[in-house]
Structure formats: C-alpha cells, structure tokens
Structure 1
Amino acid sequence: MLKMPRTNYNNTAGLKYHTTQETLLYASLTIGPNCIFLYINSVLLFTLRSKPVFRETSRYILLYNLLLVDIVYLISSALLYLFAVCRIKLTFYMCRALTLLPMLMSVISPLSLTVMSLERFVAICYPLRHTVIITVRSTGVAITLVWVTSSLSTLTQILILIYSKIEFNLQLKDFCSKETVFLVPMSHHFDRVYSGIVFLSAGVTIICSYIGVTLVARSASTNKASARKASQTLLLHLFQLGLILISTLFSPIITAAATIMERSHVLRLSSLTFIFLKILPRCLSTLIYGLRDQTIRPLLIQHLCCQWRCSFQKRSQQVL
C-alpha cells in the first residue's frame, strides 16, 4: 500500500485551512456592513416612534413601514447568506420557511415606494387637499393593502408548490435559496410575471409622479424649494426601485457562477453582489429620509451619538 508523501499532505492541509480562513474573512466583511446598517435602521426606527409628530404624520408612518420591511429583509437575507457561505445544509421545510420572509419583503418594498411617491405627488401637486386625501387612516389602509397583496402573491406560490406532483428531497444538496425550494416551473413563471407587473407599475407611477412634481416646480405659484426636494426624493425612489429589481438576480448570478468558477472566485463574487445588490438598496431609505429630512436628522444624530457614547462609557467603566 503506497503512502502519500508528506509534502502533498501538507499542501492539501494548507489549502483546506486557507479555504476556511478565506470563507470566514469574506463572511465577516459581508455581514459587518449588514450589521452596521441594521443598527442605523433600527435607531431610525426608534426615532420615528419617539415623537408624536412622527406617529401622526402619514409620510413618517410610510417610512416606518418601509424601514421595518428593510430590517426584516436584511436579517433574513444575512441568515441565508451565512448558511450558503458556511455550507450549512438545511432541510426542505426549514429552507422554505427562511425563504418566505425575503420573498414577502421583496414584494412589499416596491409597493411601499409606490405609495410613498404618490404621497409626495399629492403633497406638492394638491397641497390644499393633501390633509384631506392623505390621512392617518388612509395611510393605514394603504399599508394594509400593500401587505395583503404581497401576502397573496407568496401564498399563491406556496399553493402551487403544495399541489404540484414534483418529488423533492427532505435534505437539500445545495445551498438554501428561493430557486432550490420553489422547483415548480409554474412557480417561476408566476414569480416572473407578478414581479414584472409590480416593478413596471411601480416604475411608471414614480416616473409620472416625478413628471407631475417637476411641472409644478416650474410654475411661479408654488414653493419651488419644496417641489425641487420632492422631485429629488422621487428620483432617489426610482433609483432604489431599480436596485431592488436588480437584487432579484442575486441567486441566479451566484448559481450560474458556481458552475463555471472556482470556489474562491465565487466567494468574492457573492460577497460583492451581496453588498451591492442586497444591502445597499435596503439602506437608501435612511439616506433619503434620515439625513435629508430636517426634522428627523437632528434626532437621528442625537440618538446615534447617545448610543455610541453610552456604549463607550460602559466599556470605559469595565476597563477601569
């Protein structure tokens, strides 16, 4: 029986160690920014509940709903990414439960952006009727309709999977994703058609709102500064909508790359695409409203600085 030379064994061991080390490195570099933006979004979420003016204004209620959706999406996507990078194999039912949340949130986000764009359109184009049309009650009804519509889409895909006759393994052989769970071709067709309708209608609504606000901004009988700021907000919404649409390509890109690229290159690609396609679109809400809004920005900075100062004081006391 031939023995393997010691040099080959050492090279193999070093390669395995380097692969594990590289995996931990890319996982930490990817989850790190995710945790930072999760913290900032959570502080902004707390800020929106700290004052009655935020709880009683439709604009901030819609922002609270969008931030809540972004936080849930970031947490669930980070879990799926960690399971994939660490090569943790889940059961079929566990994977399906974990993929339902990002599926639901990915549909709620563009619809929420649409409602927020319509609110800005009414505020600028019909300022005298804004308080009559956009109320706390109508805002709650709009948010409820967004959640119900998105839930019906997810429920439809679950029913398609349940009533299909395709056999599946209880233990998944690949990393957990929406593509590995919803194997039914009809489910993929429904998802593409429904997502296309949602993003197309959201894009058309935001573009029309932007055109309407821009035309009003050019007139002499309106507050041009407020209208100009609203048009910039709508442009940022449109950019955010485009990023969310592109983020739906994350799993197909990684799945296709895994068949033609080495594992180290796939890790680099997945880390970059996760940051730019998954994290970035869910952090623009803080930049659009948290830093640009004159009412939110002082309180957000105050809460962030207070949290950092308190944590620094606790660490100093522990050291002393």
Structure 2
Amino acid sequence: NLTTNISPLMLMVMSLERYVAVCYPLRHASIITIKNTTLSIIASWTVSLLNNLTRCLFLLQFSLEKLETLLVKDYCYDINWFPDSLRERYDKAYTCLVIISAGLAVISSYTGVVLAARSASTDKVSALKARKTLLLHLVHLGLSLSSTVYHPLLMALSTLVTRIVFVWVQDVFYVIIIILPRCLTSHIYGLNDKTIRPVLLYHLCGQLKISVKPGPC
C-alpha cells in the first residue's frame, strides 16, 4: 500500500519537472536541484506513510473483546479487518483528493507545454518530447489510480467464482493493475533516455555487449 500510493504523487512531481524544463528552461537548473528533488521524494513518501498510518489507526476503535469477529473463513484481506465504514469513507476522500490533485498537475503541465510550444522562443524538439512524456504520464496516472478498484473487484469476484478461478484472476489483476503501472516508469525515464537506455538494456540483457541506437523520443 505504501509503494502503490506513492506512484500518483511521484507523477505529479515528474509532470511539474517537465513543465519547468520547457516553460522555464533558464531557471530549470536552479529549480530542479538535487536538494529539491530529494525533498520532493521525501514528501511523497511521507504523505503515503501518513495515509497508511491513518488507516491503521482505525483499528484502535476495535475492542479486543470483539477480536474473534475478525476471523475470516473464506478470503482474508486487510479490507475485512476494519469494523465499520469510517475507514471506507476516509479511503474514498483520500483517493478523490489524490486523483484531483494529480490530474490537475498533469493536465495543467501538458496545457502549459502546448502553449509554450507555440512560442517562437521555445525549443520545438524539447517541447514535443515533453508533450509525449506528459501524455505517457497521463496514461500512467490512469493505470496507477486503477489500483483503487483492485480490492472492490476482488471482493465482488470472491462471491461469484470458485477459489481456483479466483486465485488465477487475482494474479492477473495484480500484474495488470499493480505491477504494470510501475513498469511504465522504467520506460518513460529509462528507455526514452539516450544516456540511460544503453546501460539499462545492458543489465536487462545479462550484461551482453549490444549496440543500442537512440530512439526518436
């Protein structure tokens, strides 16, 4: 849950970085510093950590005398541990806040880059590359936020299919909804980077010496 919640927050930071790179190229080096990048990463981890700690606090309202009611005979998930809908309302509020904030950050950054691309003083190649990257961010954001329907889908399926089918579908959903969005980050900032791409492919191919030409992006 900690790492899953970080993905949309980091997309916000990466989108704003692309916006600054295109719209404020002369100030990019002074704004996007190692210190500011580190603080952004720490802030994203902190928000996600506080969210998970808050969710855990809802367990405190459950008395030890009622502990036996937490026993789950069929399917055991953390979503079944909470005694009432208060945690569910909190999750919906947090998810809506993240969706709105991340969506506004990505869309605003993309709009700013498009407007800047029309300016004669803007590097057209850099602006086009930033637009493609931000579009990938938008797709990435949609896939990352799809993790919010992971548990509800599994809970609904648990009452409709057999255990064997459920376990198989659970694995498929986990790869598509949880793993795939994280793999996109490696593509966006790895394979599209002419400096990182040869090194990344070098290790992915078992450290074989291969020639990799830079792509159009």
Same fold by TM-score greater than 0.5: yes
Corresponding residue number in structure 2 for 1:227: 127
Cα offset, 1:174, TM superposition: 3.6
1:261 to 161, 175, 197: 161
Corresponding residue number in structure 2 for 1:243: 143
The whole-number CA distance in structure 2 between the counterparts of 1:112 and 1:143 is 7
Deviation digits for residues 162-200 of structure 1, max 9, x if unmatched?
A: 134483336542434231233432111111101110121
Corresponding residue number in structure 1 for 2:61: 163
The whole-number CA distance in structure 1 between the counterparts of 2:78 and 2:208 is 37
Cα offset, 1:110, TM superposition: 0.7
Amino acid at match of 2:48: S
Query: Secondary structure in 1 aligned to 2:42?
Result: helix
What is the 5 A alignment of 1:92-171? 103-165=1-63, 167-169=66-68, 171=71
Contact 2:150 2:177 in 1 (8 A): yes
Q: Which runs of 5+ in 1 are unaligned?
A: 1-102, 310-320
Contact 1:107 1:195 in 2 (8 A): no
Corresponding residue number in structure 2 for 1:280: 180
Aligned-residue CA RMSD (Å): 2.0
Amino acid at match of 2:102: A
What is the 5 A alignment of 1:174-189? 174-189=74-89
Amino acid at match of 1:146: S
Q: Does 1:304 align with 2:198?
A: no
Identity, % of aligned positions: 46
Question: Which of 176-185 and 204-213 deviates more?
Answer: 176-185
More helix by share: 1
Task: State the TM-score, normalizing by the size of structure 2.
Answer: 0.86
Contact 1:122 1:130 in 2 (8 A): yes
Larger radius of gyration: 1
The whole-number CA distance in structure 1 between the counterparts of 2:41 and 2:110 is 22
Aligned residues: 207
The whole-number CA distance in structure 1 between the counterparts of 2:173 and 2:2 is 21
Deviation digits for residues 128-165 of structure 1, max 9, x if unmatched?
A: 11111111111111112112222111111111211344
Deviation digits for residues 245-301 of structure 1, max 9, x if unmatched?
A: 112212211221121223444344323322221221111111112111111101111
Corresponding residue number in structure 1 for 2:106: 206
The whole-number CA distance in structure 1 between the counterparts of 2:172 and 2:127 is 36
Q: Which runs of 5+ in 2 are unaligned?
A: 210-217
